Chain A
Amino acid sequence: MHNLLETVFSHPAVRGGAKIAFCIGFFVLALVPLLVILERRISAFMQNRVGPDRVNLPFINRLGGILPGGLAQPLADAIKLLFKEDIIPSGADKFLYLAGPVLVLVPPALGMIVIPFGSNIGGEPLQVAHLGVGILFTMSVLSVAVYGLAFGGWASNNKWSLIGGMRASAQLVSYELSLGLSILAVLMLSGAMDPKGGTVDPRELVQRQADHGWNIFGGGNPWLLPAGLGGFLLFFISALAENNRLPFDLPECEAELVGGYHTEYSSMKFSLFMMGEFVGMILMCSLMVTLFLGGWSLPPLFGALNGANEWLAGGSILQGLVSVGIFVSKVMVLLLLYIAIRWTLPRFKYTQLMDLGWKRLLPLALANIAYVAVVGVAASGGQP
């Protein structure tokens, strides 16, 4: 039996397929419903309500009270949405109306393929595609996601939808700048300490962080600590705006626009928009973990964890799974932070959103790059 498994898994197509299946099955299909129930239960907790706690998983029935109630609520919601009437407004542009939800969900799911979600199992790196352009691939795929919102908003033939779609396109273009610049800074930062210079390969980025220290702490150079922390903050704020999450959810703010770009959508098409938003969050958090928080590695702090990262990269099935667990836990912490922020901060005005993006974050991101460039050259002894 063991030999049979080994023979099957020695085929590269099978290993690739397994990794794709994990990427889609876990990060898209399993994590999204979990996030939905977490979002609802945490918001209820923060607002002193009970929240959905009735629908439980069949047969296990909360395992004698270990599991919280309501875990099966997203499943019930999905079944309900499937059976809802699917309305296409008569004035809508059919093709673009149908393309909208697809264009929202597919790009972030595609962006996941370059993220290394673990160290390796038997020398097989836990990353679906090892592309030469690495992080740039995710960035470029992400920048396409805005078309779903824009087309959906325009094709609905509804003023609220149109305004939502326009807000989304202006907002995403504005914040992509500071997002891209903070990624640039962190790539330079990780190149400053390495003789091979900068890299855009996410696997190499994580390996360097495992060896020298996380990029958020300056990648092993104490002088770069402010750049790492500041860059992470810039990235986090821009990522909130890119995902249309509160306090930046103006494209769909229900107080003025009903639902913004998804006002006219119903049934599964509506839930595709929701899924796209959550997958976008998961991708952004995975990017943050990969770029700043060391991917699957543990922080080499105080010498107490020396050797832990070597153990994680060991290559046995257990070591591989533990590294995946570490990566997923980091992503989950960031996602919980996203949710807590959503239920803490009020929504900005649109002028404030544009001011923050263009007048605050953009200059700060440029200053961050300049700082990394100067200190990075100084750290490498003047040798670029």
Chain B
Amino acid sequence: MGIDPVFALAAAVSVVSGLMTVTRRNPVYSAVWMLACFIALAVVYLRLDAPFLAAMHVLVYTGAILVLFLFVIMLLNLKPEEFPPEPSLPAKGVCALLCLGLFGLLAVPMWFAAVELQGGTIDAKGPAFGGVEYVGEALFGPYALPFELMSVLIMVAIFGGVVLARRKAA
């Protein structure tokens, strides 16, 4: 079984643009590369038969969260001389090693899972698997409790934001 070329291209674009996001010094360019990364990720989701996830990803992350990032970046409107200084080479090296280590922690189990799967078949539910109906039934059926707990978590984040904002005003 070969690799789907669209998937491969989108995955490559997402990795490259992700790297560009963290290495640009101009924050607006970081946001632009992040936009490219998000759209490539949406294509990855589409190729993985998860159209609902793709649509929600674009709607929430691209359409709302990244716009707010961009809004704040534009509000600060940093000039080139105000950009953070270039980190030293050892600092860069340590960061790169840490990132690679984290990536390795994720990649090794995935690799073994992939090797295990080579013999068997994935429980393929077809294109309906990632559709609106399936995701909705899963979220409000067997996963209702974790789903509701997630909203409590978000509430906590909102309370935290309010508390922080009030402290600054006082």
Q: Find the B residue at minimum CB distance from A159.
A: B77
Residue interface mask B59-72, A partner, CB < 8 A = 1: 10011100110110
| Residue contact A131 to B71, C-beta cutoff 8 Å | no
Chain B residue nearest in CB terms to A384: B140
Contact B132 A166 (CB under 8 A): no
In the complex, what residues of A have CB within 8 A of residue B127's CB? Answer: 132
How many chain-B residues does the 8 Å CB contact rule pick out?
A: 26
Asked whether any CB of chain B lies closer than 8 Å to the CB of A169, the reply is yes
Partner of A143, one of B64, B71, B132: B64
CA distance A141 to B32 in the complex (A): 17
| Residues in chain B near residue A131, CB distance under 8 A | 51
Question: Is B35 at the interface (CB under 8 A from chain A)?
Answer: yes
Q: Do the beta carbons of B63 and A146 come within 8 Å of each other?
A: yes
Q: Mark A160-184, 1 if CB is under 8 A from B, else 0.
A: 0010011001101100100010000
Tell me if A's interface is mostly helix, strand, loop or mixed.
Answer: helix
- Residue among B51, B56, B68, B132 with the most chain A CB within 10 A? B132
Complex Cα gap A133–B58 (Å) = 12
A-B pairs with beta carbons under 8 A, tally: 79
- Given known A-B contacts A132-B51, A140-B58, A141-B58, A154 and B74 have beta carbons under 8 A apart: yes
Choice from B32, B39, B52, B57 contacting A96 with Cβ under 8 Å: B32
* Interface membership of chain A positions 304-328, coded 1 if the CB is closer than 8 angstroms to chain B and 0 otherwise: 0000000000000000000000000
Determine the chain B residues whose CB is within 8 A of the CB of A136 once the complex forms. Answer: 52, 55-56, 59, 132
A280 to B32, CA, bound (A): 22
Q: Once the chains bind, are A133 and B67 in contact (CB under 8 Å)?
A: no
Whether A214 is near chain B, meaning CB under 8 Å from some CB there, is no
CB distance from B31 to the nearest CB of A (A): 9
Note all chain B residues with C-beta closer than 8 A to A151.
32
Whether A227 sits at the interface, judged by CB under 8 Å, is no
Closest chain A CB from B90 CB (angstroms): 32
B→A interface (CB under 8 Å): 28, 32, 35, 39, 51-52, 54-59, 62-64, 67-68, 70-71, 74-75, 77, 127-128, 131-132
The 9 nearest A-B residue pairs measured at CB = A143-B63, A140-B58, A140-B59, A136-B55, A133-B55, A140-B55, A169-B71, A133-B51, A132-B131
Residues of A within 8 A of B (CB): 93, 96, 131-133, 136-137, 139-144, 146-147, 150-151, 153-154, 162, 165-166, 169-170, 172-173, 176, 180, 200
- 6 A–B contacts, CB within 8 A, in A order: A136-B132, A139-B59, A140-B57, A140-B62, A146-B67, A176-B64
